[in-house]
Amino acid sequence: MSRPAASIAAIAADVRAGKRKAVDIAREALDRLRADPCVAVTRILSERALAEAEAVDATVAGGGDPGPLAGVPYGVKDLFDVAGLPTTAGNAARLEAEPATRDAEAIHRLHAAGAVLTATLNMDEFAYGFATINAHFGTTRNPHDPARLAGGSSGGSAAVVAGGLLPLALGSDTNGSIRIPAALCGVYGLKPTHEALPLEGVYPFVDSFDDIGPFAADIEGLRLATETLRGAPLQAAMPRSIALLGGWFASNLSPDMIAARARIAAHLGAGEAELPAVDVARSSAFLITASEGGRFHAPMLADRALTYDPATRDRLIAGATLSSAIVADARRFRRWFAAQADALFAEWDVLIAPATPCAAPPIADPMIAVGGQRVPARAHLGIHTQPLSFIGLPSLVVPLRDCGALPLGLQLVGPPGGEARLFALAARLEADGLVGGWPACGA
C-alpha cells in the first residue's frame, strides 16, 4: 500500500508551492482506496479524481492559486449527489436510480477550493443507524480493531480518515452520525449548528435534525474544511467558561470514559452543569426522527419495500404510523428543552459531554450496556448525542489521548453559532497533548 495520507494543511501547502503534484497525491490515494481493509468505500472515482487533480496542477503551473484545499483528496458519504452517478443513500436498489445532474453544494465548494473527490463511502441504509451495518454494502470495520464497529451512520467517512486512506471526508449527522464514528475511530468530527453548512444535494432523512460536516485527523484540517464549507473564516474565540455536563451525560459510561472525562475536566478547571429531562429529550428525538423519516419514505415503502434492509424498513414503517398528536407533543417539548439549554449557555460558553458511552463494540456482538441492560448498538450508541442535535446545537468531537486500548471521544458543545469557541478549545486541548487523531493503521 502507498503511504498513508498526510495532513490536509501539509498537502495543500505542498501543492500550492509546487512541491508536489496533485496528480501524484490522487494516485496514491486511489491506490490506498483500492486496498480498503475496512469495507469503507462503495465507489472509487478514479477518472474524476485524476481529472480534478490535473486541473489543480495546471492552475499551479500557470501561476494561479487553486485554493486552500489544493490537491487534498477526499471522499463523501454515499448520500451526497455526485454529478453523473446515482445517489444510493446506502440502498442497493438506488444504484439504478437516475444519476444526479449536479454535485451537492458541499462538493461544489470543496472543488472550488481545490480538493479532489476520490470516492463515495459506506453508511447505514438511509442513514438510519449508529453502526454502519449495511445489508447491501457490508459492515464497515474499525481501523483500530477490524473485529469492531466503526460507528455510524457515517462509518465509512470516519474509517477512511482513521485508517489513513484519505485526509478528509464528509458525512451527515441527524442524531449522532458524525460524532459517534468520529469518537469510535479516533478522529475529529463536526456536527455544526443546524443548517449552518449547505444541505443542497444531500439525500434527506429528518429535516428537523439533518446536518453535514467534515472528518479530519487534526483540528487544523477540520477547521480548513469547515471554513471552506461555510464560506467564511472562523474567528478565534477562546471560551471563558467551560462546564462538564452531568446527570444523564455522566451515566452508562465505561471506566475508561469516566477517567478520561475527569482528566479533561481537571485540566480545564471545568465547572459542572446539568440539563433537565434529557431522557425525555432523547425519547422526543426518537419520535420526531421516526415520524419524519417514516413519512418521507412511505411512498417508496409502498412501492418497493422489499428493497430495504428489513431492520431499516420496519423502523420506518413504525414511524410512519405515529400519530400527529404524539409528534406535536415532542415538538413542544423540544422548544422547552431548547430554552433550558439557552439558560445554561447564559452561564457557560462550552459544555462537555461524552460522544459515546464506551469504545466500539464487537461486530460479532454489537451490543452496549444502557441502564444495566444489553441493548443493540445500532439503535443506542447515540444516547449522548441525540439530546444535543435534537435542539440544533453545534458539537465538535475531539478524540481522546491515553483513554485505553481503543479510541474514545468527547463532544465540545456550544450554543447555536458557537463553532469558533469549540475550535479554539479543541486546538488548545490538542496543543496540550490531551486530544488528537489516533495514529493511522500502518502509519
Q: What angle do CA 213, 218, 224 make, to 5 degrees?
A: 55
The predicted structure's pLDDT at residue 342: 98
Domains of the chain: which residue ranges? 8-230, 242-431
Confidence at residue 437, expressed as pLDDT on a 0 to 100 scale: 83
The residue from 153, 208, 291, 395 that is catalytic is 153
Identify the CA nearest to 193 among candidates 357, 379, 381, 422: 422
Inter-CA distances, 77 with 263, 328, 355, Å = 33, 31, 20
Q: Which of 336, 342, 326 is nearest to 283 (CA)?
A: 326
Domain 242-431 has CATH 3.90.1300.10: yes
Retrieve residue 249's grid coordinates: 451525560
Query: Can you tell me the distance from the alpha carbon of 183 to that of 398, in angstroms, rounded to the nearest whole number?
Result: 7
- Backbone conformation region of residue 8, classed left if phi is above 0, alpha if psi is from -120 to 50, else beta: alpha
Contact predicate 271/243, CB 8 Å = yes
Q: Residues 293-311, buried b or exposed e (16+ Cβ, 10 A)?
A: bbebbeebbeeeeebbbeb
Residue 153: active-site member:
yes
Give the right CATH number for 8-230 from 3.40.50.720, 3.90.1300.10, 3.30.1130.10, 3.40.1280.10: 3.90.1300.10
Q: Give the residue from 150, 387, 156 showing the smallest Cα distance to 289.
A: 387
Identified catalytic residue from 7, 77, 172, 208 = 77
**Among 435, 436, 438, which residue's Cα sits nearest to residue 263?**
435
Residue by residue, DSSP assigns 28-81 as: HHHHHHHT-SSS-EEEE-HHHHHHHHHHHHHHHHTT----TTTT-EEEEETTB-
Helix runs in 390-439, H state only: 419-431
Residues of the chain with pLDDT below 70 are 1-3, 440-443
- What is the predicted pLDDT for the residue at 2? 55
Active-site residue flag, 21: no
Which cell numbers hold the place of 167? 485526509
The domains spanning 8-230 and 242-431 adopt the same CATH topology: yes
Of 177, 254, 284, 395, which one is the catalytic site residue? 177
Question: Are 394 and 192 contacting, i.e. CB atoms less than 8 angstroms apart?
Answer: yes
Describe the chain by its helix, strand, coil percentages, rounded to 5. Answer: 40, 20, 40
Please check whether residue 140 is in contact with residue 150, taking contact to mean a CB–CB distance below 8 angstroms. yes
Q: Where are the beta strands (DSSP E) in 33-134?
A: 41-44, 73-77, 116-121, 133-134
Identify the H or E element spanning 216. strand 211-216
CA–CA separation, 329 vs 326, rounded Å? 5
Is 7 known to be catalytic?
no
Longest Cα–Cα distance in the chain = 64
Is pTM beyond 0.85? Reply is: yes
Residue pair 166/29 in contact by the 8 Å Cβ criterion: yes
Tally Cβ neighbours within 10 Å of residue 343: 12
pLDDT of residue 440: 53
Is 335 strand, coil or helix? helix
Q: 265 — phi, psi (to 5°)?
A: -60, -45
What is the C-alpha separation between 443 and 158, in angstroms, rounded? 17
Helices marked H in 231-361 — which ranges?
255-268, 278-304, 310-320, 324-345
245 contact partners, CB below 8 Å, separation of at least 6 = 273, 274, 275, 351, 352, 353, 413
pLDDT value of residue 1:
42
